[in-house]
Amino acid sequence: MSEMSIDQAEVEATAATALLESREILPTIEPIEEVPVDLKASELYINRELSHLQFNVRVLEQALDEGYPLLERLMFLLIFSSNLDEFFEIRVAEQLRQLKYGREDVGPDAMYPQKVLEKIREICEINVDRQYKILNEIMFPEMEAQGIRFLRRGNWDTEQRRWVKEYFEEKILPVISPIGLDPSHPFPRLVNKSLNFIVQLEGKDAFGRETGLAIIPAPRSLPRLIRMPDELCEPGDNLIFLSSVIHEFADDLFPGMKVRGCYQFRITRNADLSFDVEEIEDLARTLRGELHSRKYGDAVRLEVDQRSPEELISVLMAEFKLEENQVYRVNGPVNLSRLMAVRDLVDHPNLRWKPFTPGVPGKLKTEKDVFAILRRNDQLLLHPFQSFTPVIDLLRQAAKDPDVIAIKQTLYRTGVKSDIVNSLVEAARNGKEVTVVIELRARFDEESNLQLASRLQEAGCLVVYGVVGYKTHAKMMLIIRREGNNLVRYCHLGTGNYHSGTARLYTDYSYMTSDKDVGEDVHKVFQQLTGMGKIQKLKKLFNAPFTLHARMLELMQNEIRNVQAGKEGHIIIKVNGLTEPKLIRGLYEASQAGVKIDLIIRGMCRLRPGLPEISDNIRVRSIIGRFLEHTRVYYFANGGDPLVYCSSADWMERNMLNRVETGFQLTGKNAERIVRELEYYMRDNCQSWELHSDGSYTLLQPQEGEERFSAQQVLLEEFAKV
């Protein structure tokens, strides 16, 4: 319709209305029914795998942040590699499995696996190429300027080459096993993510065989980076790659034959463990059997030196049953994550993060009796800005205290020789009843957890593996102590794992209390895990898979009712992932009703913010910095009487519906403190990435005249000694 016709229609409509009014006739106007937006529509959701991949890209971007120390920028570059490895091992492998067996599982975004894989390839190809350009054109030159050199074999002088030759003969040759390919020597089974070389040979071996090809698996026991003696080099740190040494002396592995070419490659395999829970009789035994197969799952990715001849790449593709779109040609080492060893080979504190000492609240620092402190006040800690030591001290004191009669603990990722485990062992040997719920299926920690279970059992602990089909992800410690004629329960609840190492790297809340109702609730959750029975009603905790999900939906609806009643409506959610469709629809509904929503989502986020009349009241940001953001916090304004929760659960299907999780409310000064710290993250303007409705992210920058504000830096300065 032309502009003229629109104007004419308006004129005619106005005239008709005037005519009716002049006749004093009141027309009956039927209200136009608004068609409600279908909040299940696929265009309202971002694909989970692509969102996950975007998080890895944000990690890569940290390597370009010149505000970070140089070696820390290198670590971000290498973490991108290790993250991408896991992404292919699990997420890409799952998409390929669905295609292979014709069981395509389409999420709320309605993207089929084939399309997802195409987009993954597109994003990975661009960013893997960027990664190697950053390494070669920025990282290596900047490190060399600081005296950290990676010596190429073409640049070794005579003395250096003599030293490398001796190293090869003494340290590498005795343990390496080259394999010539012929009918009696088929292509070897290569371990997942191992460094290997494919070699072109010319000539005949001692048996008269003329194979043409060989494989050299690099032993995993050998370091990938080797430090050359200082006296042979310029001042500084001089390193060589194991791959350079093998390349240089590959001829020595095939006496009498000529090596025409030697090219490194690496295979990434499906590393997800799968078994039928209905068939399991002994979970530990089943896992032990599956762990070996993880090393030899179906290939999902081939990384090759970009100088490799196409005919050799074709040989590898055929051997591993891979397509061209699963091959990545790279300009550098194929196993970049092993470069992390550089941290232990050089001493440049000026190129690392400035060290800090985590803070300890006054009472926990000056008083030794943690039980006495908790009888007076709850304690809330934010790691790594505040020390994890008080949590260890609580358990250590319980292990020695003759009045403590029982300890119950969940363990997800801990480590066999951690302080936590040592205290549990000591407690059991001191005659206390120690029950430990170990989640054997914590991905990539299964083997460690099996060893952990054996150690605890040998010490006399009662070890259970939770509930088959539901991972135990809750972070709970329960200590029962005899005080006079009463039994008093002391609890620790957390958002992160009982691991002192990750407590220095991950942000997590720890809550310690002697609250009677909380103690009873934790006791009931342990009963559900170790025994059998109906769901027990909890007073102060919410737990998945029973009440946590429903409680979140209920609280969102409560915010809607408050806004409709003219009260404040505000939701703040800080989690690692937001993918559960019902929770996303709840947030969309709240946004439509006028509730202000701030989401701090580190990784995957399926929700699209900023959609007109759907999510225009929602803002999503992702904080990427020195520490891995790991806290899970839920805030609801509740009409001026805020409700604040911490939890072990992200807003994902697996956490809310298929895991054992806990959510616990904080009140008073502890709640006020968490709200203040959430506000720090919402003010962050230098490590905060804002999500747009198209799924892209933009790094926020201070506006003109605005000071830089880093939430992590402010928390360090507030709580720790820097």
Tokens of 91: 């997420």
Contact 409, 477 (CB under 8 A): yes
Claim to verify: residue 564 and residue 510 sit in the same structural domain: no
Known binding positions for ATP: 83, 506, 602, 630
Q: What is the pLDDT of residue 186?
A: 81
Q: What is the pLDDT of residue 334?
A: 95
Q: Is the pLDDT of residue 720 over 50?
A: yes
- For residue 380, list its beta bridge partners: 511
- Which residue carries 């440049």 as its tokens? 348
Is 29 domain-assigned?
no
Q: What is the pLDDT of residue 158?
A: 94
Report which of 438, 445, 444 is spatially closest to residue 424, judged by C-alpha positions: 438
Coil, helix or strand at residue 303: strand
Mark whether 185 is an active-site residue: no
Is 309 domain-assigned?
yes
Domain's final residue, options 466, 501, 536? 536
Contact 578, 604 (CB under 8 A): yes
* Residue 655 domain boundaries: 543-719
- The predicted model gives 542-548 an average pLDDT of 96
The amino acid sitting at 531 is G
Report percent pLDDT > 90 for the chain.
78
Domain's final residue, options 301, 331, 351? 351
Is 41 domain-assigned?
no
Q: What is the pLDDT of residue 580?
A: 97
Q: What is the pLDDT of residue 7?
A: 43
Claim to verify: residue 114 and residue 260 sit in the same structural domain: yes
Distance CA 321, CA 609 (A): 40
Tokens of 265: 């490659």
Tokens of 383: 């790691």
Is 7 domain-assigned?
no
Claim to verify: residue 264 and residue 371 sit in the same structural domain: no
Q: What is the pLDDT of residue 206?
A: 56
Dihedral sign for Cα 328, 331, 335, 340, please. negative
Claim to verify: residue 577 and residue 610 sit in the same structural domain: yes
Name the more confident of 18 and 479: 479
Peptide bond into 609 cis (omega under 30): no
Is 643 domain-assigned?
yes
Q: Where are the beta strands (DSSP E) in 427-485?
A: 433-438, 462-464, 471-472, 476-483
CATH number at residue 143: 3.30.1840.10
pLDDT in tens, 169-188: 999 999 999 998 875 568 88
Question: Which class for 582: exposed (0-12), middle (13-18), buried (19 or more C-beta within 10 A)?
Answer: middle
Claim to verify: residue 461 and residue 573 sit in the same structural domain: no
Number of domains in the chain: 3
Question: Which class for 82: exposed (0-12), middle (13-18), buried (19 or more C-beta within 10 A)?
Answer: middle
**pLDDT band (50, 70, 90) for residue 652:** very high
Per the residue annotation, which of 473, 499, 549, 570 is the catalytic one?
A: 473
- The predicted model gives 19-48 an average pLDDT of 64
Among the ranges given (229-238, 295-304, 315-324, 433-442), the one the predictor scored with the smallest mean pLDDT: 433-442
pLDDT in tens, 224-265: 999 999 999 999 999 999 999 999 999 999 888 899 999 999
Is 42 domain-assigned?
no
Is 442 domain-assigned?
yes
pLDDT in tens, 76-107: 999 999 999 999 999 999 999 999 888 888 99
CATH number at residue 636: 3.30.870.10
Peptide bond into 217 cis (omega under 30): no
Distance CA 415, CA 411 (A): 9
Dihedral sign for Cα 258, 261, 264, 268, please. negative
Q: What is the pLDDT of residue 17?
A: 40
pLDDT in tens, 496-528: 999 888 999 999 999 999 999 999 999 999 999
Claim to verify: residue 405 and residue 305 sit in the same structural domain: no
Q: What is the pLDDT of residue 16?
A: 38
Coil, helix or strand at residue 484: coil
Claim to verify: residue 414 and residue 308 sit in the same structural domain: no
Tokens of 583: 């929770």
Strands 697-699 and 688-691: antiparallel
Claim to verify: residue 130 and residue 165 sit in the same structural domain: yes
Q: Is the pLDDT of residue 702 over 60?
A: yes
- The predicted model gives 150-162 an average pLDDT of 94
Claim to verify: residue 313 and residue 376 sit in the same structural domain: no
**pLDDT band (50, 70, 90) for residue 202:** confident
Is 503 domain-assigned?
yes
Claim to verify: residue 107 and residue 197 sit in the same structural domain: yes
Q: Please, what is the end-to-end C-alpha distance for the chain in angstroms?
A: 68
Coil, helix or strand at residue 699: strand
Claim to verify: residue 423 and residue 313 sit in the same structural domain: no
Q: Where are the beta strands (DSSP E) in 168-257?
A: 179-180, 195-202, 213-217, 225-227, 237-241
Claim to verify: residue 699 and residue 607 sit in the same structural domain: yes
Domain's final residue, options 520, 536, 552? 536
pLDDT in tens, 370-383: 999 999 999 999 99
Give exposure, 449-474, as e/b (b: 16+ Cβ within 10 Å): bbebbebbeebebebbbbbeebbbbb
DSSP secondary structure of 643-706: EEEEES--BSHHHHHSEEEEEEEE-HHHHHHHHHHHHHHHH--SSEEEE-TTS-EEE--PPTTP
